[in-house]
Amino acid sequence: MSEPHLIFSHGLDGSPWGLKITAMAEVARRYQVHVESIDYANLDTAARVQRRLEVCRELSGEVILVGSSLGAHVATTVSTQVATRGLYLLAPAFFMPGFEQYTPEPAQCPVTIVHGWNDDVVRVENSIRFAQQYRCHLHVVDDDHRLHAQVDQVCDLFDRFLHRLGVPRRC
């Protein structure tokens, strides 16, 4: 069986190798996965979904999708269209005012959400609602939308997520 591909998607104003993604990539490298991060600079939501689908369809085997904010929305949208082993979502942009009907349904796979209590971009209640509706694991931490103050906890939860998916560790 081939190693799964772990693909990161940054948020609207993020970058492919920002603080959280770089830290989580270090965790991921302890496991038998191929790590990639897609650059969505200057792409609207539809183009981000299309780009993510193109990348995923070029790969063989399962993918583990990780996304932050708008990147979490993109990852969730794509999850039902490719062989997805798991979703790890940070402050996902779900149930946004005026766009509630565009909140995607996740694939039938393990989903973990991490959200900050003090998020002033995406209300924590949105993640609570999504987690309740789709029976996701939800961790609410003392942080804001960027989750930079709790990046160590985000990485610890990510490590546990990969372990729970049964991804083998490297020797």
The CATH number of residue 48's host domain is: 3.40.50.1820
Q: Would 14 be classed as within a structural domain?
A: yes
Name the percent of the chain lying above pLDDT 90.
80
Q: Would 171 be classed as within a structural domain?
A: no
Q: Would 170 be classed as within a structural domain?
A: no
Q: What is the reported pTM?
A: 0.95
Q: Would 85 be classed as within a structural domain?
A: yes
Q: How far is CA 58 from CA 1, 55, 63, 71, 145, in A?
A: 17, 5, 11, 19, 32
Question: What pLDDT tens digit does each residue of the chain (171 aa) get?
Answer: 578 999 999 998 888 999 999 999 999 999 999 999 999 888 888 898 898 889 888 888 899 999 999 999 999 999 999 999 999 999 999 999 998 999 999 999 999 999 999 999 999 999 999 999 999 999 999 999 999 999 999 999 999 999 999 999 997
pLDDT, position 1: 56
How many independent structural domains does the chain possess?
1
Residues 6 or more apart from 133 whose CB is under 8 A from it? Answer: none
Q: Would 62 be classed as within a structural domain?
A: yes
Q: Would 130 be classed as within a structural domain?
A: yes
pLDDT, position 61: 85
pLDDT, position 44: 87
Asked whether 150 and 143 are in contact (CB, 8 A), the reply is yes
Crossing angle, helix 19-28 and helix 151-164, to 10 degrees? 40
pLDDT, position 41: 84
Q: Would 169 be classed as within a structural domain?
A: no
Q: Would 110 be classed as within a structural domain?
A: yes
Range of the domain at 153: 5-164
In whole angstroms, what is the distance from residue 94 CA to residue 71 CA?
11
